[in-house]
Amino acid sequence: MKTAGEVLKKSRLKQDLLLVEVLKQIKIPLKTLIAIEADNYQTLPPLTSSLGFIKNYAEFLGLDPAVPMALFRRGYTHYQDKKITPPSLLTKRFNFWTAKTSMLIAMGAILAVFALYIGWQLIGFWQAPLLEVDLPTENQLVNNDELLIKGTTDHDVSLTVNGDLISVDASGQFENSYHLTTGENNLFFVAQSRRGKTTTLVRHLNITAE
């Protein structure tokens, strides 16, 4: 849709009139005439004064002033609305999710995962090793000197039973035949990690005569 400035300029050019000829007749400053034809609302005077200039200009050109005045009022109102809500603010409001935002979120996620990993490693570093003994059970009846010991611990620990070293496989499982000495009725399991942390478990046995 045409603007007030376009309608006035087209009519002036159609009549082969120069702006200097117009200003001599209607006494409107040259910069104001240029701003009207360019629809440059920013440099024009307030609405009431501008409408007066447009009315005079339209009448001079032989146009019905109501048409360019209505077009100017509509364009001026739109310009004022844009001033109230600057485009830059609208852009910031609707373009919150930018490439920079995505990068910051990704970096935050990576740092969070790294922090969790470090925390888990530190817990494992300072925590005493796991030790579970399946056999013998507590207060198990024993009627000979050969005893099966079986259980689970961490794969990298040093495991002893009453001071005797017990082998542990790569998964942390151990299963050995243990020879009881005379008068021995308690088994002390000690798992010691490479960091010096220990876990101790005692199994009490009921020794019976054959």
Question: What pLDDT, in 10s, does the model give residues 36-63?
Answer: 999 998 889 998 998 999 999 999 999 9
SS3 call for 155: coil
CA distance 50 to 64: 16
Query: How much of the chain is helix, strand and coil, in % rounded to 5?
Result: 45, 20, 30
Note whether 150 and 200 are same-domain residues.
yes
Domain that holds residue 104: 97-126
Least confident of 15-19, 20-24, 81-85: 81-85
For the question of whether the overall pTM of this predicted structure is more than 0.85, the answer is no
Alpha-carbon distances of 183 from 90, 160, 164, 186, 208, rounded to whole Å: 88, 19, 16, 9, 11
Statement to judge: residues 119 and 136 lie in one domain: no
**Domain CATH number, residue 18:** 1.10.260.40
Beta bridge partners of 55: none
144 with 70, same domain? Answer: no
Number of folded domains in the chain?
A: 3
Task: Give tens-digit pLDDT for 136-190.
Answer: 999 998 888 888 999 999 988 999 999 899 999 999 999 999 988 777 788 999 9
